[in-house]
Chains A and B, each alone.
Chain A
């Protein structure tokens, strides 16, 4: 460390340049990782909030929630500590001032995926919803009446809850009992059957049903969410997915994640290369000095450790400043930028960057080991 520090102190500019490169790369890596976890959060935070172990979909749905349709009674056949049925559809909600694409979830209020309102109240009456608090930033508030695309029904926001976005859309949680009447198919189906002026709240029919006879209709849901499941006892026609698998199969999720992860890995490779080149150039400039030291009997190991120590010092400084800059930038970003910092992940990436820089320094170590002190002496 003695040699390492002395040289850094004495050649501040050179080492500042190496540090700057590492700083910029780590800034970019941290930012991309923030973006990756922010975007991932947009897709998955509602599912994460449930703290469920897994989810049952129909096996013909090919792991797609929207394509999965099952009778609600199937929940009774599922063996698990806790079950929660989930009906889901995507709609546009309009409060008169603002419009937003939302994911409407029909749930039973006594089951475990029922959200706690962070503001306002739980839904109690027909067509009331607890909305994702991300809608507040879009201009929605408690008491708003929401017109829905493809449905005649109007929903009322009674409360907001946090961490409630699913596949990039804010979630509206409502009672499963009313959900059938809101499903976009419902109105269309009613029109087909000749009841074009289907008034709000009128029960709608399902595939085989007749208008006004919902009571005898089996309620349909898209999925059964479970805690403590026994996946070896999967009911016929259903497929069990662990929560993580379910999330990975959300449309676009894996592709987006892979893209960002790939960029981050690519940056690791770039920083290894840049550090390797930089340090190699610095080392080559010092070959005769190293040779003289080796002639004096200073071991390659000591000199190599010095280069590694230098790299470590510079990498740590670069990564720490990069981290600070990232956090600082995060404070000033508009809310629309989906960045969320996962500090555990950032710590791992920071450590990888430092490791990768040290890997780059190995080129210099190799150079030092190969130096023949005789050449330095006679050169």
Chain B
């Protein structure tokens, strides 16, 4: 039996009502298991971030049910959802989600202050080496390059051993070489930590490294490719990426 870390069942999300109503997410179901890495691509405004934030328990769905590690978060209040996030979810955001006045090692230390059961010293050392940030531990975010910052953000997200890793356009602020490198590291680190991972991105090359690619259009999620790289992409999708990918910019 595969362990579904994230289970979303018939989830919808509607903002506003009447004439201003926006159906950001139409009936969507999505399961992600441990160690599985999926990508969601799609044009700007199609509902990708909405899906991701519902998956992470940052907002509730209008209908449907969401479980994280078996826990029905749709029935919890913000305080308990916050606990579930601390316990199970790691976020990586488009721009740095680092605390400006903490050094790299203090960013991780902060997590030790608020939660037990983070990585051991050795695991942490291994992760830092893998992400190539061992030499940066005493630096502040301002002294890091964009790519370094995102690598630290990955370390931070994985440090608390999350079972669910959610990344919303983690490479959007990077040039393509950096984006490539960061995505590669994200994927391998996530797999190594056995986290269920969702990466929202518009960068085609990033999808080379994932197990499944979903496409979001107008609040509807389609499975695009499974266990494949760019080579297996059909024409339609490439077209879409050229048209839609660019407008889904920074």
Contact = CB atoms under 8 A, between A and B. Distances in A.
Interface of A: 2-3, 6-7, 9-11, 289, 292-299, 302, 373-374, 377-378
Interface stretch (B95-103, B171-179, B182-190): B95-103
A294 B102 CA distance: 16
Interface in B145-183: 168
A292 B83 contact: no
Contacts of B140: 10
23 contacts: A2-B109, A3-B102, A6-B101, A10-B101, A10-B140, A289-B100, A295-B58, A295-B91, A295-B97, A296-B91, A296-B97, A297-B82, A297-B83, A297-B84, A297-B89, A298-B110, A299-B79, A299-B86, A302-B113, A302-B114, A374-B58, A377-B91, A377-B168
Contacts of A7: 101
Contact of B53 (A2, A298, A378): A378
B87 interface: yes
A373 B58 contact: yes
Given A10-B140, A378-B49, A296 B101 contact: no
Contacts of A293: 99
Contacts of B118: none
Interface in B14-47: none
Nearest to A373: B58
Contact of A3 (B56, B58, B85, B110): B110
Contacts of B113: 2-3, 302
A377 B53 contact: yes
B152 to A, nearest CB: 13
B1 to A, nearest CB: 28
A8 to B, nearest CB: 9
A6 B168 contact: no
Contacts of B91: 292, 295-296, 377
Contacts of B85: 295-297
B9 interface: no
Interface of B: 49, 53, 56, 58-59, 79, 82-87, 89-91, 93, 97, 99-102, 106, 109-110, 113-115, 140, 168
B114 A6 contact: no
A131 to B, nearest CB: 63
A302 to B, nearest CB: 6
Given A7-B101, A292-B97, A374-B58, 12 more contacts: A3-B99, A3-B102, A10-B100, A10-B101, A10-B140, A293-B99, A295-B56, A295-B91, A296-B89, A297-B114, A377-B58, A377-B91
A297 B83 CA distance: 6
Nearest to B85: A297
A295 B162 CA distance: 13
Contacts of A374: 53, 58-59
B108 to A, nearest CB: 12
B62 to A, nearest CB: 15
A295 B113 CA distance: 16
A289 B59 CA distance: 18
Contact of B87 (A297, A373, A377): A297
A3 B114 CA distance: 11
Contacts of A373: 58
Point out which of B58, B86, B115, B168 has the most chain A C-beta atoms below 10 A from its C-beta.
Answer: B58
A294 B106 contact: no
Contacts of A299: 79, 82, 86, 114
A329 to B, nearest CB: 35
A377 B115 CA distance: 21
B58 to A, nearest CB: 5
Contacts of B87: 297
Contacts of A3: 99, 102, 110, 113
A293 B110 CA distance: 10
Contact of A377 (B82, B93, B101, B110): B93
B71 to A, nearest CB: 13
A47 B126 CA distance: 77
Nearest to B81: A297
Given A11-B101, A289-B99, A289-B100, A2 B110 contact: yes
A49 to B, nearest CB: 56
Nearest to B106: A6
Contacts of A302: 113-114
A252 to B, nearest CB: 53
B22 to A, nearest CB: 14
Q: Which 8 A-B pairs have the closest CB atoms?
A: A297-B86, A297-B85, A10-B101, A292-B97, A374-B58, A7-B101, A2-B113, A297-B82
Contacts of B49: 377-378
Centre residue among B49, B82, B113, B168 by max chain A CB count within 10 A: B82
A377 B100 CA distance: 16
B106 A298 contact: no
Contacts of B59: 374
Contacts of A2: 109-110, 113
A292 B53 CA distance: 12
